[in-house]
Amino acid sequence: MDFFWLLVVNITLSVLSTPVFSLTTCPCSDSSLCNPVSSPPRKEVLVFQHRGTLWKSYDWSIVTTVAMFGKYDPDLMCYAHSKGARVVLLGDLPVAQLTNSTYTKLWIKQQVKLAQDQFMDGINIDIEEALPNTEAPLLTKLISDTSKAFHEAIPGSQVSTDVMYSPNCINECCFDYKGIADACDFLMLMSYDEQSQIYGDCIAMANSPYNKTAKGVSEYLKLGISPDKLVLGVPWYGYDYTCLHLTQDRVCSIAKVPFRGAPCSDAGGKQVAYFVIQQILAANSTTGRLWNSTYEAPYFQYKNTETGRTHQMWYDDPESLSYRYKYAKSADLRGIGVWHGDCLDYDGKGKQQAKEMWEAITSFLQV
Ligand SMILES: *[C@@H]1O[C@H](CO)[C@@H](O)[C@H](O)[C@H]1NC(C)=O
Ligand SMILES: *[C@@H]1O[C@H](CO)[C@@H](O)[C@H](O)[C@H]1NC(C)=O
Ligand SMILES: *[C@@H]1O[C@H](CO)[C@@H](O)[C@H](O)[C@H]1NC(C)=O
Ligand SMILES: *[C@@H]1O[C@H](CO)[C@@H](O)[C@H](O)[C@H]1NC(C)=O
């Protein structure tokens, strides 16, 4: 359903069978930069790093944690540490192995070793396969054991878990959310791809509708999870939908692509990075930027040059993100997260837009 994640999963499933990359000596010019970051719990600005060296252009005055989801990059580790930011691993395993305690024990050992060998500060556990309610305790135990192992081996380390935008078995991920929140440092809410299961009209909608996002957070809080255990993840990408039919009031019917029991999903569209969306908005839009005030999100339409078809693009920009950052602040959440930091054009025509995307985060941080 989500091509960004699929890329990642293919890499990580092989972890147990291939020798892990490991360093023998500190790769940083100043060897003290190989020490784990020891700052106490604080408001988080967690950024997922996906590929390449665009991280050099992140706003390091506000980043607190980088989840290194691309290839391990020692320069990124040294640099992040020089800015007091933690660097965490991607943690993923096949849920079929949760019943195999030989596997999970070995997995935990390997993750800790990988983090130590690479001078990292923890792990972000990202398991998005369907998990039936009956197996939820196994995942909670894995996360609890992983937390204990990390906190013991690397003092001050951080263990977080990625979860769906709401705790209601979204995408058939029926975790024990309260148990997991208790077992690790915090939950990173993936408050995007919120149209992964559409049961009503099969139409284009916002990726991260404000009303649905806020409802999801409130449901986590209702479980008795402290706001200090919740990081609100937001998208720096959007969805491009081809309209099969378009009404005068801009309701765009999309291809019916089922996903985990739902007849329709955002897999009927295509994920597009923010900087590409801005290029299409500038060059091809037939409507200009429009605003949906229920979703607090922008969208626009354009005609594809090659096919002549009308498309509807739903996305987030500094204005819509500010609503979400302000919400996170007003709810006193632990932090915000960004999927992902490499969706921007830091050096070319999108440079100013990239700056504005980072600046919008100040609406979460301002006191
Ligand atoms: C359990 O995990 C171990 C270690 O990876 C593996 O050797 C074994 O085949 C697994 N058992 C099953 C039933 O998958
Ligand atoms: C959000 O608003 C849309 C459009 O009005 C509505 O269909 C949907 O049910 C709302 N969602 C929630 C969770 O309130
Ligand atoms: C936002 O879009 C939804 C369709 O997805 C529609 O039901 C709703 O009325 C729109 N809200 C506004 C204020 O236009
Ligand atoms: C947008 O317009 C430009 C210039 O006319 C064209 O080259 C490009 O293919 C168009 N992009 C799309 C997605 O249709």
Which 3-state string (H, E, C) describes the chain?
CCHHHHHHHHHHCCCCCCCCCCCCCCCCCCHHHHCCCCCCCCCEEEEEECCCCHHHHCCCCCCCEEEECCCCCHHHHHHHHHCCCEEEEEECCCHHHHHCHHHHHHHHHHHHHHHHHCCCCEEEECCCCCECHHHHHHHHHHHHHHHHHHHHHCCCCEEEEEEECCCCCHHHECCCHHHHHHHCCEEEEECCCCCCCECCCCECCCCCCHHHHHHHHHHHHHCCCCHHHEEEEEECEEEEEECCEECCCCCEECCCCCECCECECHHHCEEEEHHHHHHHHHHHECCCCEEECCCCEEEEEEECCCCCCEEEEECCCHHHHHHHHHHHHHCCCCEEEEECCCCCCCCCCCHHHHHHHHHCCHHHHCC
Structure confidence by residue, pLDDT tens digits, 308-361: 999 999 999 999 999 999 999 999 999 999 999 999 999 999 999 999 999 999
Distance 292 CA to ligand 3 centre (A): 6
pLDDT at 3: 41
Distance 91 CA to ligand 1 centre (A): 18
Concerning whether 296 is annotated as a catalytic residue, the answer is no
For residue 144 and ligand 3, the question of a CB distance below 6 A is answered with: no
Token digits of residue 215: 């409802």
- How far is the C-alpha of 111 from the C-alpha of 114, rounded, in Å? 5
Chunk the chain into consecutive blocks of 10 residues (it has 367) and report each block's average pLDDT, rounded to whole numbers.
41 44 81 95 96 96 97 97 98 97 98 97 98 97 98 97 98 98 98 98 98 98 98 98 97 98 98 98 98 98 96 98 98 98 96 98 91
pLDDT at 10: 38
Cβ contacts of 83 within 8 Å, gap of 6 or more: 60, 61, 63
Q: Does 25 map to a domain?
A: no
As for ligand 4, residues whose beta carbon falls within 6 Å of it are 280, 283-284, 304-305
Q: Does 24 map to a domain?
A: no
Q: Does 137 map to a domain?
A: yes
**Residue nearest atom 2 of ligand 2, based on CA coordinates:** 294
pLDDT at 41: 87
For residue 295 and ligand 3, the question of a CB distance below 6 A is answered with: yes
Distance 231 CA to ligand 3 centre (A): 27
**Residue nearest atom 10 of ligand 4, based on CA coordinates:** 305
**Residue nearest atom 9 of ligand 1, based on CA coordinates:** 103
As for ligand 1, residues whose beta carbon falls within 6 Å of it are 16, 100, 102-103, 106
Q: Does 89 map to a domain?
A: yes
**Residue nearest atom 5 of ligand 1, based on CA coordinates:** 103
pLDDT at 71: 92
Q: Domain limits at 330?
A: 32-236+315-365
> Shortest CA distance to 204 belongs to which of 261, 246, 164, 248?
246
pLDDT at 17: 45
Catalytic residue (one of 44, 128, 194, 296): 128
pLDDT at 23: 59
Q: Does 8 map to a domain?
A: no
pLDDT at 366: 86
Q: Does 94 map to a domain?
A: yes
Q: Does 306 map to a domain?
A: no
Residue-wise over 118-129: b if at least 16 C-beta within 10 A, else e? bbbbbbbbbbbe
For residue 292 and ligand 3, the question of a CB distance below 6 A is answered with: yes
Number of domains in the chain: 1
Q: Does 304 map to a domain?
A: no
- How far is the C-alpha of 120 from the C-alpha of 25, rounded, in Å? 13
- Using the Cα atoms of residue 80, residue 85, residue 86 and residue 87 in order, give the sign of their dihedral: negative
Residue position matching structure tokens 């020490």:
35
Cα maximum dimension of the chain = 64
- How far is the C-alpha of 177 from the C-alpha of 147, rounded, in Å? 15
Entry pTM: 0.94
- How far is the C-alpha of 103 from the C-alpha of 109, rounded, in Å? 10
pLDDT at 22: 56
Distance 310 CA to ligand 4 centre (A): 13
> Ligand nearest 279 Cα, by number?
4
> Ligand nearest 241 Cα, by number?
4
Structure confidence by residue, pLDDT tens digits, 170-211: 999 999 999 999 999 999 999 999 999 999 999 999 999 999
The CATH number that applies at residue 159 is 3.20.20.80
Token digits of residue 112: 């800790």
